[in-house]
A = this chain, B = another copy of it.
C-alpha cells in the first residue's frame, strides 16, 4: 500500500474530509483549499508530539490520536476561533494496521467532537512523531490575543487545573489509583476537551487569553510579558478536582495546578463587568487572581503574602547550569 492509499484508507472516516464547512478541497491534491467567510481571518497553529518526549512509548494509539488533535485544537479555542480543519504529518517506524486503525479512530473521534475536518497531511517513515496543524476562522479583529490584559481585569481559568500533570505517574505506569480517582485524571491527560465554546464566548469580553500547556505560572508569564502587566495569582483560589486532591493531597494538587502543564484549559483576563454574564450563561469561569500595573507573575497565599516559587513550569530545552 502506497502512502496515498495509506492516508486515504485509515483516515477516510474523518468527518467532512471533503466539502465540509469552509473546506473547498480536501485530501488528495497538492494542496487542500479552504474558503473563509467574508470578514473572517484564518487562525493557524502547529504542534508536534514526539514518542518518549510528549507521550509514553508505547502508548495506546486510540488515546494518542485523541490527544494529538485535542492539544493542537486547544490553540484555536484559545484564539476564540471556530474550528475548520487540520492536517496530520505522521512519521511511523513501519506500517502496522493494528496501530493505525485505532489511532485513526481516536483522531476521528476527537475530530468529530471538535468539528474539525482532516484536509491533508503527509506520511513518512521514521521514529514515531506527529505534527498536527489546525485551522480555524475568527472574525477579523476579534481574535483573543495574549497582549491585551489591562490592570484591574480579573484573571480567570476555564476549569480545574493540574489533572493532566497529576495523571502522569499513572500514564507512565509508575503509580496506581482506584478507578474513581484514576479515571478522571487519565481522561484529562488523554482527551482534554478543547474549550471552543468558552473561547468564542470570550470574544469581545476577555482582554487576553491563551491555553495552559506549560503550566499556569509559566503561561501567565507569557500573558504578563505580552500585555506588559503584572499578574497576581491567589493560591487558594485555584480550582482543583476531587480526584486530584485525593491522589496528590492539597499541596501536591496545588503544585500540579501551578507548574504541571498539559491542562489545555483557557486562562484569560476579564474586565469585571463581564464575569456575571459569562457565569450566568453557564460557562466555567474561575477567578484565580487579578491584573495589576507592573510586570511578572506573583503568587499570593490566603493572607496576601507573596510566596512566588522559583519553579516556573516545564520548558523544552531548558538550559542546564
Contacts and interface: CB of A to CB of B under 8 A. Distances in A.
A133 interface: yes
B145 A25 contact: yes
Contacts of A54: 124
B34 A41 contact: yes
B1 A319 contact: yes
A28 B125 contact: no
A143 interface: yes
Interface in A26-40: 28-36, 38
A149 to B, nearest CB: 13
Contacts of A127: 50, 126-127, 129
A121 interface: yes
Given A75-B30, A122-B131, A129-B126, A316 B3 contact: yes
A81 interface: yes
A140 B145 CA distance: 29
B24 A35 contact: no
A18 interface: no
Interface in A103-131: 119-127, 129, 131
Contact of A79 (B30, B34, B87, B89): B30
B319 A28 contact: no
Residue with the greatest number of chain B CB neighbours at <10 A, chosen from A24, A81, A124: A124
14 contacts: A24-B41, A25-B143, A33-B43, A33-B79, A33-B138, A34-B41, A34-B42, A46-B131, A49-B124, A50-B125, A53-B125, A95-B317, A122-B131, A127-B127
Interface of A: 1-4, 6, 24-25, 28-36, 38, 41-54, 75-76, 78-79, 81, 87-89, 91, 94-95, 119-127, 129, 131, 133, 135-136, 138, 140, 143, 145-147, 209-211, 222, 226, 315-319
